[in-house]
Amino acid sequence: MTHKLPEPMLRAFTEAEKAAKLGEVPVGAVIVDKLGNILAVAGNRTLQDHDPTAHAEMLVIREVASKLASERLVDCDLYVTLEPCAMCTAAISFARIRRLYYGATDEKMGAVENGPVFFAQPTCHHKPEIYGGIGEQRAETLLRGFFKNRR
């Protein structure tokens, strides 16, 4: 039986697919409020923006912080198609994101369950609720296809 993905994750995949068409690593992110209303969507834009920090997660966090006029996004949940890197996990912690949902794991650059396992560090001040593997197969297929075409 196939489980239907939550709407915010479907939107994150749409953003990841758009990013791939632009030659960006296909990662998409969405932030919702506690009622599930979508506050921001983005795909990776590091090439387009000439900015190594323009990861999908960073873009939506910046947008929502600006909209809410607050650096704390305590009632917000983040959906992202790939396990966040160390930079993004730090931003998630600093923003006090309530819940993190992600698709595929990232053995090379991930920092939630791989690499530095950021949220387990004693220096981490906030750990969101974490739900991995949401649409994992779809995320892995998208990423594998993207990198296969680039080689």
Q: Which of 60, 110, 88, 81 is nearest to 5 (CA)?
A: 81
- With tokens 């990841």, the residue in question is 16
Check 15, 17, 24, 57 and give the catalytic one.
57
- In this prediction, what percent of the chain has a pLDDT beyond 70? 97
At 150 the pLDDT is 76
At 151 the pLDDT is 65
Residue 84 CA, distance from chain mean position: 6
d(CA 36, CA 123): 30
| Rounded to 5°, angle at Cα 46 from 44 and 51 | 135
Task: Render pLDDT for 14-27 as a digit per residue (tens, 0 to 9).
Answer: 999 999 999 999 99
Q: What global pTM score does this model have?
A: 0.95
Q: How many residues does the chain have?
A: 151
Sites in the chain below the pLDDT cut of 70: 1-3, 151
d(CA 80, CA 100): 8
Q: Please name the helix (run of DSSP H) or strand (run of DSSP E) that holds residue 131, with its range, or none.
A: strand 129-131
Give the sign of the dihedral formed by CA 32, CA 50, CA 95, CA 119. Answer: positive
| DSSP 8-state code for residue 110 | B
**Strands 28-32 vs 77-82: parallel, antiparallel or unpaired:** antiparallel
At 3 the pLDDT is 66
Q: Is 57 a catalytic residue?
A: yes
DSSP per-residue letters across 17-85: HHHHHTTS---EEEEE-TT--EEEEEE--HHHHT-TT--HHHHHHHHHHHHHT-S--TT-EEEEEE--B
